């Protein structure tokens, strides 16, 4: 008995609104055939919640810092960088990357008329479009569209969770999200959040299209079949994966190890997104923030060692960002409230290590917040043009000065 068309569409998680036509089918069809080659890899790590940049990159010699933070101000165990700055005591792995010239710190990163809402500010960062109230496309998704046009493969993936982040929402292709390599999930732009690609249901529905099927349903079945085959190849590649380092037994550590598995697979994936949550530190910040930074630093450090052992570090660029920083002054709950500008980390074998951008003043503030000195779209232009190799202006809708990190 033929499957009901509506049921098939629901089970395959490819709906009419999310189906962009033959481009999607072609991207799936070539997904499991293209080798990794020597393409550059970009990994975007999002610190969700609003990371406190001032206690991550500490202006420990500035009296204004200690005056604003009599309790939260850090003084001991810091990893001194010079020029009055030091890294948090818990991010020793990142301090070693900095010492090796593999870590760049871009200071004072933000945007004009900053928004202190988590959702709105994250939309701005992930779309690179402050002018749009409800953006639907992401800056990396649009970059993936350009890559797919050149090679025809599926170039990007989100690691962790079931919902595709805005930054990876594309116009031409559908990008997958993986919670584990054994549980492949197809991210959609328009479908309900809890609908996922079920392996068992797919196995029943991937039979050849019958004559009674219309052309659209036949295309959808073919696309779902290719997605499934790509997932199977990724699963088989994961089974042959050989660890070069021991990753931390943390959620983020497991996701970085998953990134290693994807990068070393023959799938040719070039853009990866990871997320670490918990940075909204309104109360009792020091312990929580230290634990989060420690987890982040150790996971990133393990990934760097892994890629170096495989001879891939020169092909990797990791960017660490958050939707905003925190206010300069601590609050009465021994925490910090939503702020504005912060520091962006860029790490990789081809990074020019050191300090970039102009440091925001701790005395010339905007209603208690730092005034940004580097537009985040300058960082994006550097990544898009100097690393990924795509045109930045169509994505950013403007030209922004490069920062010279790569």
Residue 385: DSSP 8-state: I
23 occurs within a structural domain: no
- CATH number of the domain encompassing residue 292: 3.40.720
Q: How does pLDDT run along the chain (406 residues), one tens digit per residue?
A: 344 444 433 333 333 223 333 333 344 444 433 334 468 999 999 999 999 999 999 999 999 999 999 999 999 999 999 999 999 999 999 999 999 999 999 999 999 999 999 999 999 999 999 999 999 999 999 999 998 856 445 689 999 877 899 999 999 888 888 887 665 544 333 333 333 444 455 445 544 445 545 665 665 566 556 555 555 666 666 677 888 999 999 999 999 999 999 888 877 889 999 999 999 999 999 999 999 999 999 999 999 999 999 999 999 999 999 999 999 999 999 999 999 999 999 999 999 999 999 999 999 999 999 999 999 999 999 999 999 999 999 999 999 999 999 9
Residue 325 located in a structural domain: yes
Asked if residue 16 belongs to a domain, the reply is no
The DSSP secondary-structure symbol of 305 reads H
| Cα(49)–Cα(194) distance, integer angstroms | 23
Does 305 reside within a domain?
yes
Q: Looking at the 3D structure of the chain, how many domains does it have?
A: 1
Instruction: Please name which of 276, 242, 241, 274 lies closest in space to residue 259, comparing C-alpha atoms.
Output: 274
Closest by CA position to 104, among listed 313, 344, 380, 402: 344
Which contacts (CB < 8 Å, 24+ apart) does range 97-102 have? 97/300, 97/301, 97/304, 97/347, 97/353, 98/353, 100/353, 101/351, 101/352, 101/353, 101/354, 102/304, 102/313, 102/347, 102/348, 102/349, 102/351, 102/353
Query: Which residues span the domain enclosing 263?
Result: 28-202+230-396
Q: Is residue 234 part of a domain?
A: yes
Residue 248 falls within a domain, yes or no? yes
Domain annotation covers residue 99: yes
For residue 18, is it within any domain?
A: no
Task: Report helix, strand or coil for 284.
Answer: coil
């Amino acid at each position: 008995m033929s499957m009901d068309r509506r049921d098939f569409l629901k089970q395959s998680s490819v709906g009419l609104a999310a189906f962009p036509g033959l481009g999607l089918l072609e991207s799936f069809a070539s997904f499991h055939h293209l080798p990794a080659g020597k393409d550059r890899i970009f990994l975007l790590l999002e610190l969700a919640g609003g990371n406190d940049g001032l206690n991550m990159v500490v202006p420990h010699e500035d009296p204004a810092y200690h005056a604003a933070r009599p309790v939260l101000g850090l003084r001991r165990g810091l990893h001194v960088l010079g020029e009055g700055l030091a890294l948090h005591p818990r991010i020793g792995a990142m301090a070693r990357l900095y010492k090796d010239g593999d870590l760049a710190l871009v200071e004072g990163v933000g945007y004009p008329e900053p928004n202190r809402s988590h959702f709105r500010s994250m939309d701005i960062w992930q779309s690179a479009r402050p002018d749009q109230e409800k953006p639907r496309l992401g800056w990396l998704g649009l970059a993936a569209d350009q890559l797919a046009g050149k090679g025809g493969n599926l170039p990007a993936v989100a690691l962790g969770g079931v919902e595709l982040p805005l930054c990876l929402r594309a116009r031409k292709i559908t990008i997958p999200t993986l919670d584990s390599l054994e549980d492949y999930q197809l991210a959609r732009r328009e479908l309900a959040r809890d609908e996922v690609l079920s392996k068992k249901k797919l196995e029943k529905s991937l039979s050849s299209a019958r004559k009674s099927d219309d052309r659209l349903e036949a295309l959808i079945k073919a696309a779902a079949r290719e997605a499934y085959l790509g997932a199977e190849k990724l699963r088989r590649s994961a089974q042959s994966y050989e660890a070069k380092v021991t990753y931390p037994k943390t959620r983020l550590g497991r996701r970085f190890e998953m990134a290693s598995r994807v990068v070393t697979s023959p799938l040719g994936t070039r853009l990866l997104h990871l997320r670490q949550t918990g940075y909204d530190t309104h109360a009792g910040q020091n312990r929580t923030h230290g634990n989060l930074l420690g987890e982040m630093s150790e996971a990133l450090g393990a990934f760097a060692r892994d890629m170096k052992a495989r001879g891939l570090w020169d092909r990797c660029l990791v960017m660490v960002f958050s939707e905003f920083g925190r206010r300069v002054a601590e609050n009465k709950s021994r925490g910090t409230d939503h702020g504005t500008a912060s520091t962006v980390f860029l790490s990789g074998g081809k990074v020019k290590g050191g300090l970039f951008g102009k440091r925001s003043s701790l005395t010339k503030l905007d209603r208690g917040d730092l005034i940004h000195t580097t537009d985040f779209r300058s960082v994006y232009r550097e990544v898009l043009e100097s690393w990924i190799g795509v045109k930045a202006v169509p994505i950013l809708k403007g030209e922004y000065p490069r920062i010279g990190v790569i």
